[in-house]
Structure 1
Amino acid sequence: MDDHKKNKERSRFSFRKKPKQTLQKDDITIVDAEVAKKAVVATSLGNAMEWFDFGIYSYLAATLGKVFFPAMSGPMQLVYSFGTFAVAFIARPIGGVLFGILGDRLGRKKILAITLIMMSFATLSIGLIPSYASIGSWGTALLLIARLVQGFSTGGEYSGAMTFIAESTPDKKRGFMASGLEVGTLIGYIAGSGIVTLLTFILGEEKMLEWGWRIPFLIAAPIGLVGFYLRSRLEETPAFEAMEKAKEAENDQVSFKDILIYHWKPIVVGMFVVFFYLVVNYMVLSYMPSHLSTVLGYGETKGLLLILIVMLIMVPIVLLMGYFGDRIGAKRVIQIGLIGLALLSVPSFLLIGSGNTWLVFLGLLILAVFSSFFQGTMPSLLPSLFFTEVRNGALAISYNISASLFGGTTPLLVAWLIKVTSNRMVPAYYLIFASIIGIVIVTYFVKDTSGKPLRGSPPAVAEKHEIKDILEEPEESLWWTEEKKELDQKIEKSEED
């Protein structure tokens, strides 16, 4: 039996209402390197599936507008197409709450397998929907239903994936390994956008409009099956199993109501963090292809190719930011990214609107680099905001409500504001606004826990020799104890009242 399994079986770390003040050797989890790598690969593939869908939908937004909203004018077709994109985010909080709480009760890996199958099925369905020309508004209605199913499943997907990776990796390598989740995002987006770009080049815009747009959606089924196979073979996270052993002794379950009452502060903080993160993410990855083609008049293939190259460059930068997050702190990396984005958003969009291919590429690259600061650090920072017993559910609530209000609506809002104001710099101003909000929230309300155990979790190390150092200074690993005491006092007082 390997060290990973031994530690999971013998872990007696207490999650009771009176947290332990000392650590025992058996409390510390030694994370098997191969198990951690499998967790990163399997969860990242599911995230790639999610963003494969986002990629093909964003890159086909103009085409889908013509297929399902032919009565609208060019710019309004784009608004309606992104409106359908945003509809999925209506169902996202519902799915997030349901799958998040189930993940805290039934286990992380079971829920991740379910959400992946649902998502791949819904994406496949879009490729089979008859056009508006064939069945009229029924085609549009079926598209909306498929997007709602996608949103419902995605609600439990990303927050569950972040939780799983954060709980399956050593504390000192959490940032770097969790950044692999966003590498999955980019690979999925690159695959989706690359297929659309290639098909557009081979088939031409006329055949793409006629039938070629369906091909990327049909590819979702085999990708989903591969992801389901990998996820079904994962082991449950050590933190979750340790928590379950404690719950067996106490017969204690945290309800949805308890999450909202006692954990509302980190949920609100998380929502603001997710706000600026997703505004930047969706602006760069989801909105920019259509901005180049519809607003600035670039050829579709040319604009798609530029962003595809930029995303390829982002992959090593995301990993590098995850590495730096482990070394200097994720909080500091994020602050640097926000300041840079606030200062350079306007210059970047001036370059993008210049008409010169090299300057357009430079402007896109600047935005992408700063987006990488967040993508490399958020998968490790966001799960750290919450205690283990509510992590999946609380993170799902926080992430998906913010994603629904601000993330998925970013392309729609920006497209509409440009239409109303006729000002092509609106995206830059929105990025600056989001960055300023982010600087305030991260600086004053987020504690940097890089390299430390997650809230409510025992330490997780990569090597046995690290255990000695932890036992010599246990207070470093139990940094969250006072915070847990305050929380428990509130719960006890509320129960007495």
Structure 2
Amino acid sequence: MSQPTTATRDATARAADGGNVADAARLSPAMVRRAIFASVLGNGLEWFDFLIYGYFSKTIAQVFFPADNGFLSIMLTFATFAIGFFVRPLGGILVGLYADRAGRSRALSLLIISMAASTLLMGLTPGYAHIGLAAPALVVLARLLQGLSVGGQFATASAMLVEYAPPGRKMFYGSFNMTAQSFALLLSSGAGYLLTTHLTHEQLASWGWRVPFLCGALAGPLGFYIRHRVAESPEFQQLRDHGDAPPRASIRQFFRTNGRAALCAMGVIAVGAATNYVWHSYLAVYVERQLHLPLAVALRGAFFCGALNLFLFPLSGRLADRYGAYRLFYPVTIAWMICAYPLFAYVVSAPSAERLFVAQVISTVFLAAMSGAHPGMLATLFPVRSRSSGVALSYNVAVTLFGGLAPFTITGLTRLTGSSLTPAFYLIFAGFVSLALVYGTRRGRAGADDPATARSSTA
């Protein structure tokens, strides 16, 4: 007897979750394109805000956290950056539960408005010199509001994309969620480069840094309009039509049913999150404080890497569909752990714009290879009835621990050890955690042959 094809196994898993492949086939191309665009828009806005905060962290520190000690000022800025991540798991669970009950489309419409509001608050808040302690308090509030809203953004958008995907293309469709991050990197680094090279330091501190936040907030109304016109995903609609609503379950029940899947998902995300935040959010401070190079040098490289990833992430998703996401996960992660230290040593030994650019491009290729299939991998680990909440919890815990805390942790460790190679050791540690969690769970081993296998086992 011949073995079932990937498409056959994928269709079987779809049916086991209450999905209906025929419904997906009847969707018009225009509706599919609209769903893709609506799903990734919020994720792009989320990353635009995060990256802009990282690129202008030194200026934000001067405006909102003035201190005689420059190290203390930047640490307060990074602590505020991390605060938004601590509430992400809570926001992820709340939004995820809402998306699993009310639908992906409604949840995404709610999220885009909330995210735009937090971005606008960040851009309009007066500095410490004008309103005193109220200034950093409002910045913290903006970060908390954004953390709560974006907590469910990645998970709900990933669920929407995977549930719109035809058989055998889940990883490719999910990769568009990562492409949104690349587009955000392109816009944020481009805006940062233009502002830092065309404005004086006084102009940048006075009003220049606010421009990207205010522009980012304008995407809110447009995103809400587009998302409001997107039909519910076929798989969730089928589940709702059958009256198979997700049961009200406790956290204990969730982990009893999906605990191994959640651990596997955290492992999948950990090394990618660490790499993303080290080479993007932390890079601006690292370049200026450790390498003593102009910020514009890092921004030029980031802009090119953002453009490169627009093509690499979808390619990574296609390869994962063809060869198996887990079959690629293990060798790519190990290769990145081997390369992380030499790459940083190459830059630190003789800091220059050319060496930094080479390192940025190499890290970008590895990041795309690791992360292109992440949305699809996470979404296929959980059944439709608990997909948004499951992905939200696991994704946000991993990103908080290994991504959001990365700038704060690395800055502190670098100060303590005096080593400019601290980021490399951080990435190697994250790689070990990822490999241990994924391989140590049945989900990771079962998915080594085909992503659909892991999903069908949780249906």
TM-score w.r.t. structure 1 length? Answer: 0.84
The verdict on how the C-alpha distance between 1:125 and 1:450 changes in structure 2, with shifts beyond 3 A counting, is: farther
The verdict on how the C-alpha distance between 1:454 and 1:95 changes in structure 2, with shifts beyond 3 A counting, is: farther
**8 Å Cα contact 1:29/1:238 also seen in 2:** no
Query: What residue is the counterpart of 1:330 in the other structure?
Result: 325
Query: What residue is the counterpart of 1:78 in the other structure?
Result: 74
What SS does the aligned partner of 1:181 have? Answer: helix
Cα RMSD (Å) of the superposition?
2.3
Query: What residue is the counterpart of 2:296 in the other structure?
Result: 301
The verdict on how the C-alpha distance between 1:26 and 1:367 changes in structure 2, with shifts beyond 3 A counting, is: closer
Shift of 1:451: 6.9
- AA at the equivalent of 2:151: G
Shift of 1:193: 2.2
After superposition, what is the alpha-carbon deviation per residue over 1:6-65, rounded to whole angstroms, capped at 9, x for unaligned?
xxxxxx95769xxxxxx9996885554433222211111111110110111010011101
Q: 1 CA distance for matches of 2:281 and 2:20?
A: 48
Q: 1 CA distance for matches of 2:34 and 2:16?
A: 27
Query: What residue is the counterpart of 1:426 in the other structure?
Result: 422
2:244 pairs with 1:226: no
Query: What residue is the counterpart of 1:280 in the other structure?
Result: 275
2:433 pairs with 1:437: yes
Q: 2 CA distance for matches of 1:240 and 1:408?
A: 31
2:241 pairs with 1:253: no
Greater alpha carbon shift after TM alignment, 23-32 vs 411-420: 23-32
After superposition, what is the alpha-carbon deviation per residue over 1:405-456, rounded to whole angstroms, capped at 9, x for unaligned?
3321111111111111110000001111111222333345313388765877
Q: Identical aligned pairs, as a percentage?
A: 31
2:286 pairs with 1:291: yes
- Within the candidate set 183, 189, 194, 2:190 is matched to 194
TM-score w.r.t. structure 2 length? Answer: 0.90
**8 Å Cα contact 1:384/1:449 also seen in 2:** no
- Within the candidate set 343, 347, 351, 1:352 is matched to 347
Query: What residue is the counterpart of 1:217 in the other structure?
Result: 213
Query: What residue is the counterpart of 2:5 in the other structure?
Result: none
Q: 2 CA distance for matches of 1:13 and 1:339?
A: 35
Shift of 1:101: 0.4
- AA at the equivalent of 1:207: Q
Q: 1 CA distance for matches of 2:20 and 2:400?
A: 43
Query: What residue is the counterpart of 2:4 in the other structure?
Result: none
What SS does the aligned partner of 1:440 have? Answer: helix
Shift of 1:137: 1.3
Query: What residue is the counterpart of 2:54 in the other structure?
Result: 58
Q: 1 CA distance for matches of 2:24 and 2:48?
A: 37
The verdict on how the C-alpha distance between 1:171 and 1:77 changes in structure 2, with shifts beyond 3 A counting, is: farther
2:313 pairs with 1:318: yes
Shift of 1:383: 0.7
The verdict on how the C-alpha distance between 1:246 and 1:72 changes in structure 2, with shifts beyond 3 A counting, is: farther
What SS does the aligned partner of 1:170 have? Answer: coil
**8 Å Cα contact 1:66/1:77 also seen in 2:** yes
The verdict on how the C-alpha distance between 1:194 and 1:429 changes in structure 2, with shifts beyond 3 A counting, is: same
- Within the candidate set 238, 241, 249, 1:242 is matched to 238
**8 Å Cα contact 1:101/1:256 also seen in 2:** no
- AA at the equivalent of 2:447: D
Query: What residue is the counterpart of 1:407 in the other structure?
Result: 403
- Flag as ranges the 4+ runs of structure 1 deviating above 4 A: 12-16, 23-32, 449-456
The verdict on how the C-alpha distance between 1:229 and 1:453 changes in structure 2, with shifts beyond 3 A counting, is: farther
Greater alpha carbon shift after TM alignment, 303-312 vs 63-72: 303-312
Shift of 1:345: 0.5
The verdict on how the C-alpha distance between 1:411 and 1:197 changes in structure 2, with shifts beyond 3 A counting, is: same
Q: Which has the higher Rg, Structure 1 or Structure 2?
A: 1
Query: What residue is the counterpart of 2:41 in the other structure?
Result: 45
2:130 pairs with 1:134: yes
Q: 1 CA distance for matches of 2:48 and 2:246?
A: 39
The verdict on how the C-alpha distance between 1:41 and 1:15 changes in structure 2, with shifts beyond 3 A counting, is: closer
Task: Write out aligned runs for 1:27-176 (5 A).
Answer: 32-176=28-172
What SS does the aligned partner of 2:124 have? Answer: coil
Shift of 1:302: 2.1
- AA at the equivalent of 1:408: G
**For this pair of structures, how many residues does the alignment match?**
441
Q: 1 CA distance for matches of 2:301 and 2:246?
A: 53
After superposition, what is the alpha-carbon deviation per residue over 1:113-144, rounded to whole angstroms, capped at 9, x for unaligned?
10111011110111111111111111011100
Query: What residue is the counterpart of 1:343 in the other structure?
Result: 338
2:264 pairs with 1:265: no
Greater alpha carbon shift after TM alignment, 442-451 vs 344-353: 442-451
- AA at the equivalent of 2:306: M
Where structure 1 has 5 or more consecutive residues not aligned to the other structure, the ranges are: 1-11, 17-22, 457-478, 485-497
After superposition, what is the alpha-carbon deviation per residue over 1:146-172, rounded to whole angstroms, capped at 9, x for unaligned?
110000000111111111111111121
- AA at the equivalent of 1:127: G
Q: 2 CA distance for matches of 1:238 and 1:454?
A: 21
**8 Å Cα contact 1:67/1:132 also seen in 2:** yes
**8 Å Cα contact 1:325/1:450 also seen in 2:** no
Q: 2 CA distance for matches of 1:397 and 1:348?
A: 32
After superposition, what is the alpha-carbon deviation per residue over 1:214-262, rounded to whole angstroms, capped at 9, x for unaligned?
11111122211111111111111111111112335xx662424432332
After superposition, what is the alpha-carbon deviation per residue over 1:153-208, rounded to whole angstroms, capped at 9, x for unaligned?
00111111111111111121121221111111111122122112111111122210
**8 Å Cα contact 1:171/1:452 also seen in 2:** no
Query: What residue is the counterpart of 2:367 in the other structure?
Result: 371
What SS does the aligned partner of 1:385 have? Answer: coil
The verdict on how the C-alpha distance between 1:261 and 1:89 changes in structure 2, with shifts beyond 3 A counting, is: same
What SS does the aligned partner of 1:102 have? Answer: helix
The verdict on how the C-alpha distance between 1:34 and 1:331 changes in structure 2, with shifts beyond 3 A counting, is: farther
Q: 2 CA distance for matches of 1:112 and 1:166?
A: 15
Greater alpha carbon shift after TM alignment, 356-365 vs 379-388: 356-365
